[in-house]
A and B are shown apart, each in its own frame.
Chain A
Amino acid sequence: DIQMTQSPSSLSASVGDRVTITCQASQDIRDYLIWYQQKPGRAPKLLIYDASNLETGVPSRFSGSGSGTRFTFTISSLQPEDIATYYCQHYDSLPLTFGGGTRVEIK
């Protein structure tokens, strides 16, 4: 199974800050990498697909990059509504697996 390692597991930042989350795959997954946002008590929401493509309707302050084994997710200017847990997920092979999540809080 491909292991997805996310870091940090949590972070606290101020409104307007740039926030970066990394996701490392245990083997090459090309660009088959997805980012989701999950707000408390809600289902996850698709933000980024194929490592760097912004889902329709998602604000442009969210972005993703990377390929192979190392990926980055960025919020260019943190907003109060971005408080959530963010997960990466690969779909290179079965089983589909997720990173452990990064909880983002406002300082």
Chain B
Amino acid sequence: QVQLVESGGGVVQPGGSLRLSCAASGFRFSNYGLHWVRQAPGKGLEWLTFIRYDGSMQYYADSVKGRFTISRDNSKNTLYLEMNSLRSEDTAFYYCAKDRGWELVHPAYFDFWGQGALVTVSS
């Protein structure tokens, strides 16, 4: 079955950096786009970024554009999120999520999610 397992969360100081990873299994990784979605504790969901199945295009929410970078390694079935210039408002659970569509060029919606990784930005 589809599994997405995030890692790399933790506590970081404001202005610092962190890299999240998401190890995937149970589906043809190289044929699906992937997303990162976050949720501040007790708050709602916020879509952050999407990467096409082949890594050729990435899309970002304005709140993270220029600070976060999504990437993928199709040989390792792994998705990444590089987070720089972190702020207190970036404190959240970060979920990787699989897009529903086979080789879609535009992001759509999420049919499987990881369990989430907590990132806390605090001095």
Most chain B beta-carbon neighbours within 10 Å: one of A38, A44, A55, A97:
A44
Asked whether A91 and B45 contact (CB < 8 A) given A43-B113, A43-B114, A43-B115, the answer is: no
Contact B44 A43 (CB under 8 A): no
Is B107's beta carbon under 8 Å from chain A?
A: yes
Residues of B82-106 whose CB lies within 8 A of A = 95, 100, 106
What mask results when residues 49 to 76 of chain B are scored 1 for a CB within 8 Å of chain A, else 0? 0100000000101100000000000000
Contact A46 B107 (CB under 8 A): no
Interface residue ranges, A against B (CB under 8 Å): 32, 34, 36, 38, 42-46, 49, 55, 87, 89, 91, 94-101
Interface residue ranges, B against A (CB under 8 Å): 44-47, 50, 59, 61-62, 95, 100, 106-116
16 interchain pairs, CB-CB under 8 A: A34-B110, A38-B45, A43-B116, A44-B95, A46-B109, A49-B109, A89-B47, A94-B107, A95-B47, A95-B61, A95-B62, A96-B47, A96-B50, A96-B107, A98-B45, A99-B44
